[in-house]
């Protein structure tokens, strides 16, 4: 991925974090700057921990012939989302695990919608 792609993904994730913070799911982000920093931390953690957690989940994937993969991906995103909230001051999860789970699910859905909208313009 080139630098423009990385910056675009970062901006899209920032926008998604701002949208998620407006939903009544218990995810709170203080400001635009905190959203930018939260998106960066989330992206870095996802790039580092995502592959490690997928390798650890490989036995479950093999047993279920990959049918459990969407659930595993959601669990991984929930862990990364919660860890990012723990590391960034000004990014809070009011209902802890439930907010992290709903935030990760919302991030996936909103990110897909925003990417689909932007791909229509490209």
Residues 44-53 have pLDDT tens digits of: 999 999 999 9
Q: Is the pLDDT of residue 121 over 90?
A: no
Residues 56-76 have pLDDT tens digits of 999 988 999 989 889 999 999
For 67, the domain range is 3-121
Q: What's the pLDDT at 55?
A: 92
Average pLDDT, the chain: 93
Give which of 108, 80, 22, 30 is closest to 116, Cα–Cα. 108
User: Residue 28 pairs with which residues in a beta bridge?
Assistant: 92
Q: Structurally, how many domains does the chain consist of?
A: 1
What span, in angstroms and rounded, lies between the C-alpha atoms of 108 and 15? Answer: 12
Q: What's the pLDDT at 68?
A: 87
**What pTM, to 2 d.p., does this model score?**
0.91
What span, in angstroms and rounded, lies between the C-alpha atoms of 14 and 16? Answer: 5
Both tokens of 119, joined, read 């791909």
Report in angstroms the alpha-carbon separations of 30 from 36, 76, 77, 93: 11, 25, 21, 12
User: Residue 27 pairs with which residues in a beta bridge?
Assistant: 93
Q: Is the pLDDT of residue 120 over 90?
A: no
């Amino acid at each position: 991925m080139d630098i423009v792609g990385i910056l675009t993904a970062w901006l899209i994730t920032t926008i998604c974090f701002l949208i998620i913070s407006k939903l009544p799911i218990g995810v709170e982000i203080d400001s635009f700057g905190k959203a930018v920093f939260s998106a960066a931390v989330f992206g870095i953690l996802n790039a580092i921990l995502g592959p490690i957690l997928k390798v650890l989940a490989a036995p479950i994937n093999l047993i279920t012939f990959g049918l459990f993969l969407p659930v595993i991906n959601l669990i991984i995103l929930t862990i990364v989302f919660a860890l990012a909230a723990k590391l960034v001051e000004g990014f809070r999860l009011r209902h802890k695990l439930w907010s992290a789970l709903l935030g990760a699910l919302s991030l996936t859905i909103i990110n897909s919608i925003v990417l689909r909208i932007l791909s229509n313009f490209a």
